[in-house]
Amino acid sequence: MNKWMKVFVKDSAYIPLVAILLGLIVGGLIMAVGGFNPFAAYGALINKVVGTPYDIGETLRGITPLLLCGLSVGFAYRTGLFNIGAEGQVTMGMLGSVWIGIVLDLPPYIHTPLAVIVGMLCGGLWGAIVGWLKASRGVNEVITSIMMNWIALYLANYLIGHFLLQEKTQRSKIIEPSASITSSWLSGMFGDSRLHWGVLLALLAVPVYYILLWKTRQGYELRAVGHNPHAAQYAGINVNGNVVKAMFISGLFAGLAGVTEGLGVFGYMTRAAASSGLGFDGIAVALLGGNNPVGILLGAVLFGSLNYGSAGMSFEADVPPEIIRVVIGLIIFFVASSGLVRWVLKPFMAKRKKEAAG
């Protein structure tokens, strides 16, 4: 087993797993107090997620942007930064890809990669602005990234309204088919769901995340700056440059999440009154996964399944879908309260040590 896998298994796996279990148990108790059957609710949730090929496909589709946003937040955190701006980077990534998909008419083998790359770059550059403000002016990235979320939202609305708007609607024109990443083959395999090629891009992003951070010189510098910027600077590493690079790469992941939504799911972009929430959910996914690529993947699977499965709880078990947000909140609470989880596990760990010693 690789060293990074050992670290994940030994140091960070059991806390999220126990946190998930505690979240589900407390969530079930809340349902019971409210007069709902928690067993029926969780059964309906599971049935909704894996009940039909269509449901499996839609669940995977929902997992895709969550995984990419989780990688975005986790990458920044590994380099000592807290990227609250994944929401805005998703918006800019979606805008850039949809724009290219609408205004250009090119062969698919050029149009699709170009739209994907432009969307990623839009998300990356949006994140780089936050990194530049921190590196050059010392502005806290949490403050600027939150502000950039709102700027991205209203800038996208303005540009759509003045350049891309479909007449008598509140959405942009439809992208050219040559820019789409939809797949009739994948969709047909999963019951005509909206599953698209973006799911493969998201899966490829997981090893890219690991290789970039742990197998390259650039990744070493980024992590060194995150651990101790003063020591890194003393060692000759360009701290300010790496801060900008870290936020740019983080933005690339979030931008790709917007690309998958724009080119794979909708094929257009709407003038929105509020953000999608994908970037903020990505924070929870990264937290649950311990900022480890495998953990983030598993966290995205869990959150995507809970989000999609909540509809089954509502229709089959008559449980309000808001309850699932309570469960997600409880899971995040228990993950963040690692000391509480260790306290719960302390008697079991002590017994195990005693048996091992005996």
- Contact by Cβ (8 Å): 131, 83: no
Q: Look over the chain and give the mean of its residue pLDDT values, rounded to a whole number.
A: 90
Two tokens, residue 8: 């994940």
Q: Quick one: pLDDT at residue 4?
A: 45
Q: Quick one: pLDDT at residue 329?
A: 85
Question: Could you give phi then psi for residue 102, rounded to 5 degrees?
Answer: -90, -50
Q: State yes or no: pLDDT of 223 exceeds 70.
A: yes
Q: Quick one: pLDDT at residue 11?
A: 45
Extents of the domains making up the chain: 54-319
Q: Quick one: pLDDT at residue 5?
A: 45
Encode pLDDT of 139-154 as tens digits: 999 999 999 999 999 9
- Contact by Cβ (8 Å): 181, 120: no
Within 13 Å and on the Cβ side, how many CA atoms surround 29?
Answer: 6
- SS3 call for 164: helix
Encode pLDDT of 168-190 as tens digits: 899 999 999 999 999 999 999 99
Place of tokens 């797949």: 183
The pLDDT > 90 percentage for the chain reads 69
- The band of 54, judged by pLDDT with boundaries at 50, 70 and 90, is very high
Please give the CATH number for the structural domain made up of 54-319.
1.10.3470
Q: State yes or no: pLDDT of 96 exceeds 70.
A: yes
Q: Quick one: pLDDT at residue 355?
A: 64
- Contact by Cβ (8 Å): 166, 288: no
Q: What is the mean pLDDT of residues 33-53?
A: 90
The Cα angle at residue 170 between residues 168 and 171, in degrees rounded to 5:
105
Question: Could you give phi then psi for residue 213, rounded to 5 degrees?
Answer: -80, -35
Residue 29 CB neighbour total at 10 angstroms: 11
Encode pLDDT of 283-328 as tens digits: 989 988 889 999 899 999 999 998 898 888 888 888 887 888 888 8
Q: Quick one: pLDDT at residue 348?
A: 67
